Structure 1
Amino acid sequence: MNINFKMLNFTRLTTKNNLSKQCSNWFRFRSYATQKRFYRRTDIVQNEKKWEITLDHRRLKTPNGQVLMVNAEPLARAIAAEWDAQRDYISQPTMHLTALCNTALDNPGKLNSHDIASYLLDFIATDTLLFYSEQEKLRALQEEKWDPVLEWFCKRFGVKQEVSKNLELPPVTTETRAILARYFLSYDFAALNAMCFGVEALKSPMLMLACVDRYIEPKDAVLLARLEEEFQLSHWGRVPWAHELNQAELTARVAAALLVIHSSSERHSAAVKKSQDKSV
């Protein structure tokens, strides 16, 4: 195993632990009790400017008892479809949209947008795309696949970002942090919570930002995040069902995060545009 990645994982774990002090359930795997499906049909209803999901005409609620309400109809329909896809038993770990919306509404860690933005900014220095292998063939592959994303990131945000050249983390300038802080804080809490979820899945803020900006697709981002693993598997072989399942799960996580983010940002853009039209 590359020594750089040992340090990378240690640093990332330390950062996660710091955030976990504020939220004991933040990004942790939890055991879910098996629950039999208790409803026949799902639907959505509009409540003023928001949307609710119903199970046999009963309002879906969060673990803390709040009515689960979202700002966009497509997101509400996707959540309803998530519940409708459950068969004899409800598999909560596969219901990423429901989990993201529950967390945003209940906010069990009592976090705010600045807490999440700070966490994402600290994550930049440990981004997977900033750590190249010392193995010649793998490094050549990483440069071929990762460099375009890094170039896009620098051009998109007007910054310069170095990659790691030794065991130390690459520097992230104050200017870069300030630009990204403004970008992150332009999203609401639900979108930031979802962005964090996607970043954790990919182990890369840059890949997640590229997905948000529609520069790359979620499935491509997952392949780039797993580039070293895929390289090793091409040499040593794979267990098809296991690795394909893992890839599908990561893609589902990123796609769910993107749906929440885009639903939030597109609603905001539409509201701003409508306001501008009225003032003309």
Structure 2
Amino acid sequence: MISEAPRRFYRDVTVQRGDDGWQIALDGKLLRSPAKAPLVLPSEALAQAIQAEWDGQAERIQPRSMPMMQLVSTSVDRVIPNRAQIVTDITAYAASDLICYRAEAPEELVRRQEEHWQALTDWASHRFDVSLRTTTGIMAVEQSAQSLAIFARIVDQLDPWRLTALANVTTTAGSLVIALALLEGRLTPETAVSAAQLDELYQAERWGEDAEAGARRQGQAREIADAARFVTLLDNSARHE
């Protein structure tokens, strides 16, 4: 039996400034995470975005319509308590990054991968001083321990909010490099989606669109766009403080 969404139980949503950051109050009561942890936000812009999400709920609360709230809750309830494991899990994507596995044919797909994925490989090499090995076919390619150690250090340096965004994009795209390029501004949300979906989009062009696959790609695009917006709202803290 599917349970109904909870009814809206509040009237007013406000943003309050505290000693450590911004908080959301529903009818004057401070909002907490699903695990009942305090929600202290690092930027006013993020707090205002979450305020708008709560204020925009109708008769029933739809958590899926509040992506900024979901990302904040993930950061507080999952990323902060499990930081070391999250860093390890995300860094592991560099060992089998999507952009390192190239097609041998057809020629057009090879060309697109060279144009988009090789550009990202070159960017990562210059930006982070890593050497990513690429391969064709189905055989796995082993990345150097030095490169993986560099990626681990980069990921571990992120604050929990940006680590949350990076983790979401990495798992959604199957690529740590794409996720880092998005956070660093090398890719826009749209170009990050295009890079992550390059193979699938080519196949859809060639063989026709599958409704289920198309819906999955749309969901993937929303998740990447939401993570990018989340980082933008975090970055506003640097300009306003």
Fold match by TM threshold 0.5:
yes
Please say if residues 45 and 234 of structure 2, whose CA atoms lie closer than 8 Å, have aligned partners that are also in contact.
no
Moved more, 246-255 or 157-166: 246-255
Name the count of aligned residue pairs.
239
Using the alignment, how far apart are the partners of 1:33 and 1:185 within structure 2?
39
Aligned pair partner of 1:233 in 204, 208, 232: 204
Contact 1:195–1:258 (8 Å) recurs in 2:
no
* d(CA) in 2 for partners of 1:253, 1:32: 25
In the alignment, what sits opposite 1:140? 111
Q: Retained in 2: the 8 A contact 1:188–1:264? A: no
Whole-angstrom distance in 1 between the partners of 2:79 and 2:89 = 17
The match for 1:77 is 48
Q: How far does the alpha carbon of each residue in 1:48-81 deviate from its partner, in whole angstroms, 9 at most, with x for none?
A: 2310112233321112222321111111112122
- Alignment partner of 2:228 out of 243, 252, 258: 258
- Residues 156-171 of structure 1 aligned to structure 2 (within 5 Å): 156-171=127-142
Aligned to 1:17: none
Matched, 1:103 2:74: yes
Cα distance change of structure 1 residues 250 and 81 upon mapping to structure 2, 3 Å threshold: farther
- Compared CA separation, residues 54 and 241, structure 1 to 2 (3 A): farther
Residue 155 of structure 2 is matched in structure 1 by: 184
Q: 1:127 aligns with which of 64, 86, 97?
A: 97
Q: Report matched runs for 1:83-98 at 5 Å.
A: 83-98=54-69
Question: In structure 1, which of residues 114, 117, 133 is the aligned counterpart of residue 87 of structure 2?
Answer: 117
> Per the alignment, in what secondary structure is the counterpart of residue 89 of structure 1?
coil
Q: Which amino acid is 2:222 matched to?
A: A
Please report how far the alpha carbon of residue 219 of structure 1 lies from its aligned counterpart in structure 2 after TM superposition: 1.7
Cα 1:84/1:201, change in 2 over 3 Å: farther
Q: Give the alignment's TM-score, normalised by structure 2.
A: 0.85
1:42 correspondence with 2:29: no
Residue 22 of structure 1 is matched in structure 2 by: none
Structure 2, unmatched stretches of 5+, are none
Verify the 8 A CA contact 1:212 1:262 in the aligned structure 2.
no
Q: Deviations over 1:238-259 (max 9, x none)?
A: 368983x544432332233334
Q: CA, structure 1 residues 258+108, in 2 after alignment: closer, same or farther (shift >3 Å)?
A: closer
Q: Distance in 1 between matches of 2:116 and 2:230?
A: 27
CA RMSD of aligned residues (A): 2.8
Give the C-alpha shift of residue 198 in structure 1. Answer: 1.5
